[in-house]
Amino acid sequence: MSMFCYQCQEAAKGTGCTIRGTCGKTGDTAKLQDLLIYTLKGISIYCVKARAAGIEDHRANQFIVESLFSTITNANFDDRVFTEKIKEGLELREEIKEKLLKNTGAAEQNLHDAALWNAQTLEDFYQKAEKVGVLSTGNEDIRSLRELLIYGVKGMAAYVEHAHVLGYGDDRLHAFIQKALAATTDDAKSVAQLVAMVMECGKYGVDAMALLDKANTTTYGNPEVTQVNIGVRQNPGILVSGHDLKDFEELLIQTEGAGVDVYTHGEMLPANYYPAFKKYKHFVGNYGNAWWQQGKEFEAFNGPVLITTNCLVPPKGTYKDRVYTTGVVGFEGVNHIANRTDGKPKDFSAVIEHAKACTPPTEIERGAITGGFAHNTMLGLADRIVDAVKKGAVKRFFVMAGCDGRSKDRDYYTEFARKLPENTVILTAGCAKYRYNKLDLGYINGIPRVLDAGQCNDSYSLVLTALKLKEAFGMEDINELPVSYNIAWYEQKAVIVLLALLYLGVKNIHLGPTLPAFLSPNVAKVLVDSFGIGGISDVEQDMEMFMG
């Protein structure tokens, strides 16, 4: 096989991509990503030892987080980027090794190969990558748990990076990420020990989401209930996709007065809910739907598209010249906006000038969608919600957060939402909401039946909402609440959200449209037996099961 990858929900045949990724990455790209992860494991081995000796290497912390983020599904497809990162990683590893040697006066013995190997040529990289990929771990259960842990820290790294951009950090998160990566090289770790580390990953996942929530709300204010326009105006426009609010803010500032409108797409939709962005009159609203529809929607938009984080589909030649990437995102032949230097904002002038030469967006729909139900808003609604439950107006809440994707079987979530009884409410976050956030599901006591908390990382808000309800009802266990979990997943940020929910004690989560290919039968059984994890079947059967 030319590659092996099974980190996303669309793994070929439900087992793994072996020729080319369903996401579009080539076998060579997959190998370089594998080798970069292996390099990060070696750096982490030294970072763990350095930290024990009182050395905190902030450059290494940031390099590891950014590199992990770049390997998330649909983030970066540019082999050149990964080649340079591997070279930089090897140099960084040796620098930390030298610091440790000077501090302790003795070289470490019996280190894993990830901390020792070296090479410089691309050919050597590919040869090494053949030996260190996912399948290099022979035991299926150990491999499953190692990969589950790696995918968890990949998702966590994304949230840590977003917080860092806004000036917020927590060295404990870096310490855990590095401990976890180093642990995946330790053949002495048992299944039980790795399961414990996976649960610990959930704990730090909660902390990472809390950190990012603090960064976002402190910087831009608490999200507000907002009617988001989904139509267009007659000015040229720039479409912004991804998750990075700092990029979005800097673009809004630089486009003010330029005669160019700005729209959100996909996971950037919740930017419409933040009060700090509402003062910009050229911020029009949201255009389009979830990430997988960008082929036709980017085509119709007519203007340039800025991708700030993962969820890039390999662009068609008909609009590739209008795509701009930034941060960890990359694709060969696509324009890239450089990172900030010396505290200065990114320079989006090329995107803005490009937009001025384009025709206005083609209108694909009209109307508005409602969102902004993050934890601060829900706290204000708590009394009304509790009263609605006690009076029987609301019988059950359904957490339907997570990711959207291409597969036809995801129509299940639209049909499930459509057929839910009128006395139920959907709590959502992430791009999974696009399966039902434009349905006319009505209101209960003035509260919409679809309550969107925001991006995938805002699943933290859903947890805080559930904990507040538990307190309001005087319950001891979060699982006593009239709340069911029917979550869709796609990539690694959904993995850390799942682990965070498990750490918080949430049970009986149903995950679809398929269970992860990286869960071995035995590991899946542990999750089923310990937490009641389940899949989905058909809408009618599941509705009966959930409503009891």
The 3 state secondary structure assigned to 67-89 is HHHHCCCCCECCHHHHHHHHHHH
Q: Choose the final residue of a domain: 323, 356, 389.
A: 356
Q: Is residue 202 part of a domain?
A: no
Instruction: Tell me the whole-structure pTM to 2 decimals.
Output: 0.96
Cα Rg for the chain, rounded, in angstroms? 23
Backbone phi, psi, residue 13, to 5°: 55, 20
**436 vs 473: CA distance, rounded Å:** 29
**Which residues are within 8 A (CB) of 382 and not within 5 positions of it... i.e. 6 or more apart?**
468, 469, 472
- Residues 351, 423 within the same domain: no
Q: CA-CA-CA-CA torsion for 163, 280, 227, 221, nearest 10 degrees?
A: 40
Give pLDDT, residue 401.
95
Question: Whose CA is closest to 6, among 440, 437, 513, 520?
Answer: 520
- Residues 256, 399 within the same domain: no
- Residues 326, 387 within the same domain: no
- Residues 431, 508 within the same domain: yes
Please spell the DSSP secondary structure of 101-154, one letter per residue: HHHHSS---S--GGGT----SHHHHHHHHHHHSGGGS-SHHHHHHHHHHHHHHH
- Residue 82 structural domain: 12-136
Q: Is residue 528 part of a domain?
A: yes
Q: Is residue 258 part of a domain?
A: yes
**3 vs 448: CA distance, rounded Å:** 46
Q: How many domains does the chain have?
A: 3
Give pLDDT, residue 103.
87
**Which residues are within 8 A (CB) of 154 and not within 5 positions of it... i.e. 6 or more apart?**
7, 68, 69, 71, 72, 492, 493, 495, 496
**67 vs 5: CA distance, rounded Å:** 17
Give pLDDT, residue 218.
98
- Residues 452, 338 within the same domain: no
Give 337's DSSP letter. E
**497 vs 156: CA distance, rounded Å:** 9
Q: Helix, strand, coil proportions of the chain in percent (round to 5)?
A: 50, 10, 35
Backbone phi, psi, residue 12, to 5°: -55, 130
What are the CA-CA distances from residue 212 to residues 81, 120, 221 (Å)? 26, 37, 13
Give pLDDT, residue 200.
98
Sign of CA dihedral 283, 286, 290, 296: negative
CATH for 119: 1.20.1270.20
Question: Whose CA is closest to 161, among 505, 453, 492?
Answer: 492
Neighbours of 510 (CB within 10 A): 20
- Residues 303, 392 within the same domain: no
| Core vs surface per residue 7-40: b (16+ CB within 10 A) or e | bbbbbeeeebbbebbbbebebbbbbbbbbbbbbb
CATH for 342: 3.40.50.2030
Q: Choose the final residue of a domain: 299, 324, 356.
A: 356
**479 vs 492: CA distance, rounded Å:** 25
- Residues 349, 399 within the same domain: no
The angle, 0 to 180 degrees and rounded to 10, between the axes of the packed helices 171-183 and 27-52 is 110
Q: Is residue 96 part of a domain?
A: yes
Q: Is residue 150 part of a domain?
A: no
Residue 327 CA, distance from chain mean position: 15
- Residues 388, 531 within the same domain: yes
Q: Is residue 361 part of a domain?
A: no
Q: Is residue 147 part of a domain?
A: no
**433 vs 455: CA distance, rounded Å:** 10
**483 vs 401: CA distance, rounded Å:** 13
Q: Which runs of consecutive H residues, i.e. helices, occur in 221-363?
A: 245-255, 294-301, 349-356
**502 vs 383: CA distance, rounded Å:** 27
Q: Is residue 4 part of a domain?
A: no
- Residues 387, 466 within the same domain: yes
Ordered per-residue pLDDT tens for the chain, 548 residues = 899 999 999 999 999 999 999 999 999 999 999 999 999 999 999 999 999 999 999 999 999 999 999 999 999 999 999 999 999 999 999 999 999 999 887 667 889 999 999 998 999 999 999 999 999 999 999 999 999 999 999 999 999 999 999 999 999 999 999 999 999 999 999 999 999 999 999 999 999 999 999 999 999 999 999 999 999 999 999 999 999 999 999 999 999 999 999 999 999 999 999 999 999 999 999 999 999 999 999 999 999 999 999 999 999 999 999 999 999 999 999 999 999 999 999 999 999 999 999 999 999 999 999 999 999 999 999 899 999 999 999 999 999 999 999 999 999 999 999 999 999 999 999 999 999 999 999 999 999 999 999 999 898 888 888 888 888 888 989 999 999 999 999 999 999 999 999 999 999 999 999 999 999 999 999 999 999 999 999 999 999 999 98
**396 vs 394: CA distance, rounded Å:** 6
**171 vs 78: CA distance, rounded Å:** 30
- Residues 288, 386 within the same domain: no
- Residues 242, 336 within the same domain: yes
Q: Choose the final residue of a domain: 106, 136, 166.
A: 136
Backbone phi, psi, residue 214, to 5°: -65, -45
- Residues 340, 380 within the same domain: no
Residue 152 has which token pair?
């968890």
